[in-house]
Structure 1
Amino acid sequence: MITRVLGVLLFTAMACLHAWSQDFGPVKGGQLDLRKWDPKAQPVIWLDGEWEFYWKKLLISKDLQENKDKTFAQLSVPWNEQEIGGERLPKNGYATYALKILMPANMRSVSFAVPAVFNCYAFWVNNKLICSSGKVGTKAEEVVPRWNPQTVTVRNPGDTLRVIFQISNFQHTRGGCAEILRIGDTDYLTSIASAFHNSGIALIIFFGVVSVGGLIIFFIVRPLSFLYLALLSTAYTVRFIFSDLYFYNDFGIDASWEVAAKIEYLTIPLIVLFGALFIASIYPQEFKRVLLYFFVSLNALLTGVVIFASSSMFSPLLLVLQIIALTFIAYVMYAIIRALIFQRAGAWVSVLGLIVFTLVGFYNVYAFITVTDLNRIVIHIGYALALLLNVASLLYRTPMRLRSEEHDILRFNDLYKDQVNV
């Protein structure tokens, strides 16, 4: 068991090192020369940089010869968030990104890690459709939006790959791609995808078990802290299913893009709401009741707003939800540090859990801002450890302990009883 864990950690560490040591790229002028690439020495290469860009055209390789005037765009930046051909494009529309890759001789296969985009895509290599997510089109009524990252393999790639990435968006406030598409050694990329997928499934199962276990204990013993932890774990479980790797596709859940996106965004205020109830239940003296009412009522209101909001409001809402979530985390830090200062039983466990959770959050934000790959195994282990520490905190924060601390509080009359009686 220990050997397997060490192997996984070594494997993910190697993934980071390879990501940081890029010898090829970025793409320039719609072309990348990989003829000297050794996939075993450098198993993954980022395809960021200047792709050929054709606005309001859905083309394949054989169509490109007719387009003499070339415009270039960054694939990893949404088209409405960069200047392309001297102009700013609207969020709604469709486009074709094209890339020519010169390959090493005699390769048996090569794989691509294709990210989710805003809001659907068709991925072609050498005039062959390799994979798709939803359905691209030139009008809103033709488009079927869907978020689904995939790792796909091209057999016998030859000496030249002509990669076409068609993207349509008529729903979201961002259009195009916001992540890096990667090419790599087939064994390496498929192993990475499998490891991320398996660790994600394990995380969902773990959070689901905690949810069920918390509910069972609540119905038997009736401590509210277990109920709130169960609800918090459930909110996280739903988020893991409907975000990042979008496991709902693997689970056969036939949800439209708008429903899936709303569920993903709904989990943010629900996590804050249940998190506030949970922390206040185990640290009632440190988590002020007025702030508990504030966070619960505000996030209940935001839950309703997300349910009834149109897709055009998703990005502005996401910013609001993130600001409120960060405010909540800051106050939780304050409350738990107070608990540690007052030497509350188990406060150190809560501090460790909060540190782990904060580090995971900062890592997510850093990867989003810098447009770098997320090591999802690190993320999944971090979430699991944070939840485990919160479960452990309940062993200290028992109802009996809370009643004892409530009686131990020193009030004004206790300290200055003699002066008051004079």
Structure 2
Amino acid sequence: MVKKVMATLVLLSVYFVSVVAQSKPIALNGIFDSRSYNFQQSPVSLNGQWYIYADQLVTPFEKPEGSILVNFPHRWNKESSQGIATYKLSVIVNRDQKNLAVDIPQLYCAYNLWINGVLIAKNGLVSSSRRTTQPQWLPQVVSFPVTKDTLQFTLQIANFHHSIGGIKNPIRLGLPEDLLNQQSKAYLVNMILLGVLTFLGLFFIIIYVFVKREKAALYFAMLCLTWGLRSIFSEQYLAIHWMPWFDWELTLKIEYITLYFTMALAIQFIAKLYVFDTNLLIKKILLYPNYIFVFLTMATPAVVYTNLLNIYLTLAGAVLLCIVIIILRAMLFERYGAWFSVSGIMALAVAFSYNYLSYQGVFDFSPFTFYTLYLCCFFLLALALAYQLSPTAKSKNVSETLTFDDYVMNK
């Protein structure tokens, strides 16, 4: 028995080492050589040096002068984020590859993608002016037959509506079944998250209306419903898959406004959940700026309010820090169910950090990981709320009136 276990561990070790050891190719001088790569193991990101034709919409069979090499994915926010550009890349594949697929994330903000002169994917309408360009965010997986050993990628991008241009996440190349399976898993987790949040929201609204009028229950219900709405208007943009005609500007406003309301409701919820552990002045200082960002988002076009996101992320970090401090105080005084809040906030902090770092381009974004973290967060916070609403909560709390300030003064 021991020998079988050891043999299994050795085989697993060899497998994982072989997976890690397989070096992934990278584009050099506009050429991506994937002949030595095994697509059976995993898809590959088409990162590296692509040719860019700035301020030009070049067709697949045109090769004008003026191209330069840039590292792809390539965002324009460090230069001028408004305008047009064309990227080109040659991908060399094995002749035995019959079918491949590309996983295309959201681009800023409209694109056309050709492979060997065939238009295989597009978002919105690409044009050379703001008036005739139509932005759209619709991540997609597109499969295509491989008829040559060299795939000529031509990617046109137009942006006149967002403060960032270009592309922040890589385009991935792989087997159709692998990429479609990963997409299906991400959609499934997104749908589970939407269903769970909708159920929790409606459940705690019923609790608030018919059982116990605790504002913590109402804030948590609104928090769940708000984030549930945001989950289909961000990242995978499921709402756009269901309604491709939906207005891009309205989509983006929903994505941003639900983020601001989520932070406002989160601090309101935690403050009501642990009322004796909350500094009301600090809560108000962190709460009201969220409504200012909501107003600015509603009153200005996307090219203006998207420029404010990095400023807001600083405020969001301060809100999360305040929530952590409140929960640590609740733990100090052994509030009933505080450990569930701690676990939930830890999951929230990891999810927030993961989303922020992937937004900054530190690593590739995984929808499956992102949605799973938020699912754990809301489930644990729901348990914390259920404990606080239970009849035994008052007797289990060490003190209803002792606060952190009292503790410091008594020292």
Q: TM-score, normalised by structure 1?
A: 0.86
Q: Which moved more, 1:227-236 or 1:251-260?
A: 251-260
Aligned to 1:61: 60
| CA distance in structure 1 between the partners assigned to 2:85 and 2:39 by the alignment | 31
Aligned to 1:70: 67
CA shift at 1:253, angstroms?
A: 6.5
Equivalences for 1:116-195 in 2 at 5 Å?
116-195=106-185
Aligned to 2:25: 25
| CA distance in structure 2 between the partners assigned to 1:29 and 1:104 by the alignment | 20
Contact 2:168 2:361 in 1 (8 A): no
Aligned to 2:401: 409
Contact 1:268 1:321 in 2 (8 A): no
CA shift at 1:369, angstroms?
A: 3.3
AA of the residue aligned to 2:200: V
For structure 1, the 5+ residue unaligned runs are 1-15, 82-88, 416-422
| CA distance in structure 1 between the partners assigned to 2:18 and 2:389 by the alignment | 47
CA shift at 1:166, angstroms?
A: 0.6
Aligned to 2:216: 225
Aligned to 1:46: 45
| CA distance in structure 2 between the partners assigned to 1:379 and 1:17 by the alignment | 26
- Residue 346 of structure 2 is aligned to residue 355 of structure 1: yes
| CA distance in structure 1 between the partners assigned to 2:400 and 2:72 by the alignment | 61
CA shift at 1:270, angstroms?
A: 0.2
Aligned to 2:236: 245
CA shift at 1:45, angstroms?
A: 1.1
Q: Look up the SS of the partner of 1:62 in the other structure.
A: coil
Aligned to 1:10: none
Structure 1, residues 259-315: CA drift from partner, whole Å, max 9, x if none? Answer: 111111111210111111111111000112223333332222221121112222233
Distance 1:163 1:21, change over 3 A: farther
Distance 1:126 1:19, change over 3 A: farther
For structure 2, the 5+ residue unaligned runs are 1-15
| CA distance in structure 1 between the partners assigned to 2:195 and 2:19 by the alignment | 29
Aligned to 2:253: 262
Q: Look up the SS of the partner of 1:250 in the other structure.
A: helix
| CA distance in structure 2 between the partners assigned to 1:216 and 1:291 by the alignment | 31
Give me the CA root mean square deviation. Answer: 2.4
- Residue 244 of structure 2 is aligned to residue 276 of structure 1: no
| CA distance in structure 2 between the partners assigned to 1:47 and 1:258 by the alignment | 29
Distance 1:365 1:157, change over 3 A: farther
| CA distance in structure 1 between the partners assigned to 2:220 and 2:56 by the alignment | 50
| CA distance in structure 2 between the partners assigned to 1:18 and 1:179 by the alignment | 26
Distance 1:354 1:133, change over 3 A: same
- Residue 81 of structure 2 is aligned to residue 91 of structure 1: yes
Aligned to 2:302: 311
Q: Look up the SS of the partner of 2:216 in the other structure.
A: helix
| CA distance in structure 1 between the partners assigned to 2:77 and 2:21 by the alignment | 30
Contact 2:100 2:175 in 1 (8 A): yes
Equivalences for 1:335-414 in 2 at 5 Å?
335-398=326-389, 408-410=400-402
- Residue 203 of structure 2 is aligned to residue 204 of structure 1: no
| CA distance in structure 1 between the partners assigned to 2:75 and 2:19 by the alignment | 22
- Residue 96 of structure 2 is aligned to residue 106 of structure 1: yes
Structure 1, residues 151-203: CA drift from partner, whole Å, max 9, x if none? Answer: 11011342110011110001111111111111112221111111111111111
CA shift at 1:389, angstroms?
A: 0.7
Distance 1:70 1:359, change over 3 A: same
> Among the aligned pairs, what percent are the same residue?
24
| CA distance in structure 2 between the partners assigned to 1:17 and 1:268 by the alignment | 40
| CA distance in structure 1 between the partners assigned to 2:287 and 2:348 by the alignment | 21
Distance 1:208 1:195, change over 3 A: same
Partner residue of 1:300 out of 291, 316, 338: 291
